[in-house]
Amino acid sequence: MQDKWQRLKRHHNKVEHRSILTLFQGAGRAQHFSARAGEMMLDFSKTNIDEAAFGLLLELAEVSGVAAKRDAMFAGDKINVTEGRAVLHTALRAPAGVSVMLDGVDVVPEVLAIRARMAAFADDVREGRFTGQDGRITDVINIGIGGSDLGPAMATIALSPYHDGPRVHYVSNVDGAHIADTLDGLNPETTLVVVASKTFTTIETMTNANTAKTWMARVVKSPGAQFAAVSTAADKTAAYGIDPARVFGFEDWVGGRYSLWGPIGLGVMLAVGPQAFGEFLKGGRDMDERFLSEPFMRNMPVLLALVGIWHNQICGHATRAVLPYDQRLSRLPAYLQQLEMESNGKRVAMDGSDLTTASGPVVWGEPGTNGQHAFYQLIHQGTRTVPCEFMVAREGHEPDLAHMHLLLVSNCLAQSEALMRGRSLEEATAIMAKKGLTGAELDMQARHRVFPGNRPSTTLVYPKLTPFVLGQIIALYEHRVFVEGVILGINSFDQWGVELGKELALALQPILEGKEGTKGKDGSTAGLVAYLRK
């Protein structure tokens, strides 16, 4: 295994300063360094990966046991070893007739039963059979945090052309401004609140839920009658006044950041309806089947992961920019931040030993074209290389604005080309000379207009942002994270890094309230507490 890493690094050292553009001198590079999943295409030809690097990366995936670990995940093996759990979010999008066994029990019938209950409830709300105190539900507030918020919030925005149900709002931050701004202007008598917390104890979520319940209780006689819950804590939801018929649980083999496909997606289903939500599940299942069956050299999740490994662990690029040229994917970079950084932001291998290579990259981004007028300056002319992952649809949802979509696509393609091609000093000098500049002024002005180029990017093109395509995209990135985690030898499915801060926050609360002193706290924390308590 170490030999594979070393061979890749030695190869990179040989080609590090080679122009990516020169790789296109041979015929067929764009076709060879791309992959298709139905009508979706991933182009990774604008990277410095050549035939030799590609072969070594594929070998790395093979010797890492990606195929065996992939099959073990889908089979229900308890691959989350630190928590002793299976990893079966893929079962949440399994269709009828498929069996997924866990400890000798097929989990799919229960998944389908809960999905049917969700659909029945969503239809009742959307068709006016379930009402608030003053009539038909007009608004839904989903209260959660992390995986109980980022996924459904992102998907609800992404699927806005398919909204034909109540308006769905999302609250996650314990900052009172978030819940206050969301409640402002809503009618408590026609609002449904969905509380998403597996244990029904998550402090941020329950604080916001209690605030919403107090707000509703001012005018609604039985506020619990307008609450639903995504939780497994039936005793706590009952005590909260929520009818068991409106409580939807999910098992511990579904991690929060992978839970959008099940009850955590209730808000999405309320917005777009069970049928569109079903298409979303089909898209995810389509990518599952491709991940399971395609050879690695054409397997889109594997290829995207190998590009990520090349850029981060081999080339040493510490960050990755996700740049969707699709306004409705505006929350996708934030969603992928959690998916990738919580999954692969680890420092030890499966056996607890220190990693010998870097773990996952910093993931960030914004939709284009706004980013072009913000951070693209650094991407093009900064001193650090930032691999970019562009996304764009072939077709938009607004046929009468097709000219705008054409402009959007042209910007997307232009940016990836500009990152690779760059502009030399000679080219910049010629441009400025035509403007009449000479001498030292010409040289100075030209140098400011040089673009180093040779900066890598991938482009994911899809036909149109439909529920099916959104499902494909999310499953693609889920499996990409899994493959990278396997190659790095880490557990992508626990998140112990979130625990310490939570523990210290609980201990600080009584100190900030003045009930306890700051003894034992460091000088900085004690000083900040003193300032805040003034």
| Cis peptide upstream of residue 82 (ω within 30 degrees of 0) | no
Regions in the chain scoring below 50 on pLDDT: none
pLDDT at 250: 87
Among the listed residues 269, 263, 270, the one whose alpha carbon sits nearest the alpha carbon of residue 191: 270
pLDDT at 26: 80
> What would the pLDDT profile of 414-437 be if each residue is shown by its tens digit?
999 999 999 999 999 999 999 999
CB atoms within 10 A of CB 483: 27
* Domain architecture of the chain: domains with CATH: 2-13+48-64+294-494 (3.40.50.10490), 96-274 (3.40.50.10490), 499-532 (1.10.1390.10)
Give me 393's structure tokens.
């649809």
**Which residue in 17, 221, 373, 435 is the catalytic one?**
373
Task: Give strand pairing partners of 423.
Answer: 451
Task: Give strand pairing partners of 192.
Answer: 140
What lies within 8 Å, CB to CB, of 105 at 6+ separation is none
**373 given a catalytic annotation:** yes
Cα separation, 197 vs 230, whole angstroms:
6
Among the listed residues 360, 320, 318, 319, the one whose alpha carbon sits nearest the alpha carbon of residue 491: 360
Helix (H), strand (E) at residue 436 = none
**Which residue in 251, 340, 342, 366 is the catalytic one?**
342
In single-letter form, the type of residue at position 527 comes to G
pLDDT at 506: 87
**204 given a catalytic annotation:** no
Among the listed residues 213, 447, 409, the one whose alpha carbon sits nearest the alpha carbon of residue 325: 409
In the chain the first and final C-alpha atoms are separated, in Å, by 58
> What would the pLDDT profile of 320-377 be if each residue is shown by its tens digit?
999 999 999 999 999 999 999 999 999 999 999 999 999 999 999 999 899 999 999 9
Give me 287's structure tokens.
């990518």
**342 given a catalytic annotation:** yes
Cα separation, 443 vs 176, whole angstroms:
55
Residue 379 has, within 13 A of its CA and on its CB side, a CA count of 28
> What would the pLDDT profile of 144-201 be if each residue is shown by its tens digit?
999 999 999 999 999 999 999 999 999 999 999 999 999 999 999 999 999 999 999 9
User: Following DSSP, what letter does each residue of 131-143 receive, concatenated?
Assistant: EETTEE--EEEEE
Edge-to-edge order in the sheet of strand 139-143: 167-171, 139-143, 191-196, 227-230, 247-248
pLDDT at 386: 98
In single-letter form, the type of residue at position 80 comes to N
**Which residue in 16, 289, 502, 516 is the catalytic one?**
502
Cα separation, 295 vs 9, whole angstroms:
25
